[in-house]
Amino acid sequence: MGSSERSFGYKFARSVTILADTAKVLLRHPILILPILIGWIFYFVEIIYFKYYFNWNACTQNQLFLVIFLIILSCCAIFSISSFIMLEIIEQIETNNKVNIFKAFSDAIFKDLYKALPIIFIWAFICFILDILEAIFSHKKVNDNENDTLTFENAARIAAEYQSFSLASLTFDLIKSGVRLIVFFIYPAIAWEEDNCIDAVKKAAVAIKQNFQEFLSGFFSIEIIAVILGTPVGIMFYLADERNIVFSDNAWLILIIYIAFVSSLYLYLQQMFAATLYLWIIKWKRAVRKAKLDKTPEPVLQDIIPPSLLDNVPDLKYR
């Protein structure tokens, strides 16, 4: 019961259409990106603190690894909470209820988060292992401008997670991005269908297997968008490092603000694409059940019009 009957190019085009729709959704419902932006700010402040104010020299090697893992775990928890708030807002829109961000926050914390704790822990552990492997294989070089002094420039480098390019770093970044998209695809089952952790993972695994090309095309489309949006950031760092151009603190502050927006938009696109694809699959399964009752040919996913938060159709009202 997949959608293999259509070509990959057709499915890729559908995924791009979904992403274009998510951009339009943001214009109508800008509140959707707010929890992601707030989550990113918490993440940024945390990283700044541990980079410049935490006494790393007081840690043994084992304590060092533990602290790093706890930092990663807290970051995964922050973005999970942001994701659940966003999903709860989507559910409010898709059930014709008034948007209430405070209720969305309450549901995310007290209804969704505890179910997702095992997923968050596994996600953090995977990222922890990937970071260790990346440190081993990428041979990261410390930039000459990086030091122990907190400046706007160094803060911008931290915000952008700027490092010397290497194929290993690119590979690990893509793997971590893919893992995050999978996690974001699991979360709608918890937020919308109130599944427990195990059932949500099973549903997501089956859905990704059945619709892998749609999932993959969306993933790479988002990464291409990220590269385009990140180009101004790379240019500024290139000019500072290779052309020795000195930028003012105001210029670096503007860059930090831009990075905050782009990073939040990137995470928004990932979660919104995962949520839309999951909602699309819900619509398809509903159509399959109806076809069985009517004894008509069962549709494939691509036969179903993708859902949209702009069409005023409450797709989550009748699950």
Tens digit of pLDDT for each residue in 140-193?
Answer: 543 444 457 899 999 999 999 877 667 778 899 999 999 999 999 999 999 999
On the question of pLDDT at 5 being above 70, the answer is no
On the question of pLDDT at 1 being above 70, the answer is no
pTM of the model: 0.89
- 25 in a domain, yes or no? yes
- 313 in a domain, yes or no? no
CA 224 to chain centre: 14
CA dist 217 and 307 (Å) reads 17
- 21 in a domain, yes or no? yes
Q: What is the pLDDT of residue 306?
A: 82
- 286 in a domain, yes or no? yes
Q: What is the pLDDT of residue 318?
A: 63
Select from 218, 201, 206, 162 the least CA-distant residue to 21. 218
- 158 in a domain, yes or no? yes
Evaluate whether 43 touches 79 at the Cβ level (below 8 Å). yes
136 versus 202: the higher-pLDDT residue is: 202
CA dist 11 and 218 (Å) reads 9
Q: The domain containing residue 190 runs over which residues? A: 8-303
- 36 in a domain, yes or no? yes
- 1 in a domain, yes or no? no
Give the number of domains in the chain.
Answer: 1
- 61 in a domain, yes or no? yes
**pLDDT > 90 in the chain, percent:** 62
Neighbouring C-alpha atoms within 13 Å toward the C-beta of 86:
36
Sign of CA dihedral 208, 214, 218, 221: positive
Evaluate whether 116 touches 183 at the Cβ level (below 8 Å). no
Sign of CA dihedral 145, 150, 156, 161: positive
Share the mean pLDDT of the chain: 89
**pLDDT > 70 in the chain, percent:** 92
Q: What is the pLDDT of residue 70?
A: 97
282-319 pLDDT, tens digit per residue, is: 888 888 888 888 888 888 887 888 888 877 777 786 65
60-99 pLDDT, tens digit per residue, is: 989 999 999 999 999 999 999 999 999 999 999 999 889 9
205-215 pLDDT, tens digit per residue, is: 999 988 888 89
Evaluate whether 36 touches 268 at the Cβ level (below 8 Å). yes
Q: What is the pLDDT of residue 144?
A: 41
- Kindly give the residue spans of alpha helices, DSSP state H, lying in 29-165: 34-52, 61-94, 101-107, 113-138, 152-160
Helix-, strand-, coil-residue percentages of the chain, each rounded to 5: 80, 0, 20
